[in-house]
A and B are shown apart, each in its own frame.
Chain A
Amino acid sequence: MEAGTATHPDQEPAAGALLARRLAARRRPGEAAIKGFLFLCALLSVATTIGIVVALAQPTIDFFGSVNFFDYLGGTDWAPLFKPRSFGVLPLVVGTLTTTFWACVVALPFGLGAAIYLSEYAATRTRRYLKPALEVLAGIPTVVYGYFALTFVTPLLRDIGLSAEVFNALSAGLVMGVMILPTVASLSDDALTAVPMALREGAYGLGASRLQVSTRVVVPAALSGIVASFVLGISRAVGETMIVLIAAGLQPTIAFNPLHGVETMTAYIASTGIGDVPTGSVEYKTIFAVGATLFAATFLMNMVSIRLVRRYREVYE
């Protein structure tokens, strides 16, 4: 019976019960099932993280059964696949830091500079084209950057007089920096544009120049977002594999010389993974131990970055 206009439920004695039945909560198993399925989809992301942690933790714990933890952390000789074996991870960390450093030399200042230009200087129309254009840089596959570093940048460094080896940390680092530049620029730009116009207008109204407003008012106001972009950029540099694998080499060393080859944590994992190491061997477990170190480092940095972004969003939105 449709809710009609002819008879109203309360005109009939049994109408109340009829209406109650009409209003009664329907069992809708389909709805519950769908909600459950969608929840599982969302839960998959949690499962992924747990999977990563478990995949890394188990062999890592085994690893530290055979290898002394402090030898690992403090040792300066990394030679797990040769004899005599040595498991000091510092050379890998140094390699990662060296390449990351040079990446930051490019990405952080120029990324921030690009962001300041986009948010404070560029006309709206220019900005609309420039910002996506910058994203193109981030879309180029890292293996292509690796090729570029090896076949173009290294010879270029040699041409300008630096005695760079075939594999060196500098080429890889610089190219990595260019790859990360859009990330830093984009996130910094978000932070800078979130600063309310009122702050700028106040400063301009006092007669400040654009340089002064940008550097003394806007940048400090957006600082937590800018720092977040830096931290994220560093995290990406630390986690990058192909550029360093192709152009930085596989020679673990604890010297910070950028003109020599180094081996980063990521390059080690990749090159060992290519080879056929027997499952369960100590060498196999090094993949996971180094992976765990890498994951821990980037996880911490990502958490810091996310926190910082949330902080500035809370302030301005």
Chain B
Amino acid sequence: MSAIPVGARRVGPASSKERVKGVAFRALLLFSLAVGFITLVTLLVDVVNDGAGKLSWHFLSAFPSSIPSHAGIQSPIFGTVALMLLTALFAVPLGVGAALYLEEYANKARWYNRAIEINIQNLAAVPSIVYGILGLAFLVRGLSLGRVLLAGALTLTLLVLPIVIIASREAIRSVPNSIREGALALGATRWQMIRRQVLPAAIPGIATGSILALSRAIGETAPLILIGALTFVPFNPTGLDSAFTALPIQIFNWVSRPQDEFHVLAASAIIVLLVLLLAMNAFAIWLRNRYQRRW
């Protein structure tokens, strides 16, 4: 194919130099993607390799111990589950409530409503350890709750609240306005419309978002360190005012020890944590696919 003159230029097939550059660039981009995936796979293989051997019913049912061969993760598991349930209990209603206010009631033109929105965006990006400091100052020392389960749950609640709010807002916003108008035109009050039409329609999205937010909470270590989740808790949490530990804390504790046996324990606990996270995320995705309405 000969080159076609177009104005002062010649338009023709790409020169070989151009083609090489194109291929090299594409390869570079693919490599960029690969970096992440290769690391992920390597990490998973490494962890499973290190820790799979130690996984056993004994491991799951024993309590932490200073003797590696006796140690298990029963109390960290219970602590993590307790934290997750409590955090859900606090964060979901508060988060959905805030999202409802911002989407259904707030006059967007008012400055204080805009300030609230920016504030939430900012809070979603604050380092998690700062939430730990907040919890330390107000809950552990300020309210004198002490280093207890409730303090941990409240701190995690504050941490995930912005995420729950943002996800809930998305879900609420996706309900079409025609539904709202239809309800109001029949003589429903605003809250009747919200409670009977908007909220039920938005629940799948809210549930999915909340589960994803909770899975983030479960993996957090830094705030709990400051709150004082202790690393040697050979008992399950007995109540809101009980000392507690959690899986990430226990993992951290074991990783910090120089001995290899503890590193192996850490790897095993990591596997359990990852399985738990995988289950939660898979559930969230299933929920979304099953119940999400396509408007």
Contacts and interface: CB of A to CB of B under 8 A. Distances in A.
Tell me whether A and B are bound partners.
Answer: yes
Interface of A: 28, 30-31, 34-35, 37-46, 48-49, 51-52, 55-56, 59, 106, 109-114, 116-118, 121, 130, 133-134, 136-137, 139-148, 150-152, 175, 178, 181-182, 185, 207, 209-211, 214-215, 232, 235-236, 238-242, 245-246, 266, 269-270, 273-274, 279, 287-288, 291, 294-295, 298-299, 302-303, 305-306
Contact of B136 (A43, A136, A273): A273
B61 to A, nearest CB: 22
A112 B36 CA distance: 12
B215 A151 contact: no
B1 interface: no
Given A48-B161, A140-B219, A288-B133, 12 more contacts: A31-B190, A45-B123, A52-B130, A106-B35, A136-B40, A143-B255, A143-B270, A175-B39, A178-B35, A241-B221, A273-B136, A291-B130
B198 interface: no
A137 B50 CA distance: 20
B29 A114 contact: yes
Given A144-B47, A270-B225, A46 B116 contact: yes
A208 B219 CA distance: 46
Nearest to B106: A42
A56 B133 contact: yes
Given A31-B190, A147-B267, A241-B128, A181 B35 contact: yes
Nearest to A48: B158
Interface string B196-226: 0000000000000000000110111110011
Given A143-B248, A302-B125, A150 B255 contact: yes
A117 B220 CA distance: 31
Is chain A's interface secondary structure helix, strand, loop, or mixed overall?
helix
A162 B32 CA distance: 24
Contact of B33 (A117, A142, A148, A306): A117
A139 B281 CA distance: 9
A113 B119 CA distance: 31
Most buried by A among B50, B120, B136: B136
B35 A269 contact: no
Interface in B93-133: 93-95, 97-98, 100-102, 105-106, 115-116, 118-123, 125-133
A241 B36 contact: no
B36 A291 contact: no
Given A45-B161, A147-B255, A211 B21 contact: yes
10 smallest CB-CB distances across A and B, nearest first, come from A239-B127, A113-B32, A141-B219, A41-B97, A55-B137, A38-B101, A117-B29, A241-B222, A273-B226, A110-B32
A279 B33 CA distance: 47
Given A45-B161, A141-B273, A239-B128, A209 B14 contact: yes
Interface in B242-290: 248, 251-252, 255-256, 263, 266-267, 270, 273-274, 277, 281
B211 to A, nearest CB: 12
A83 B10 CA distance: 76
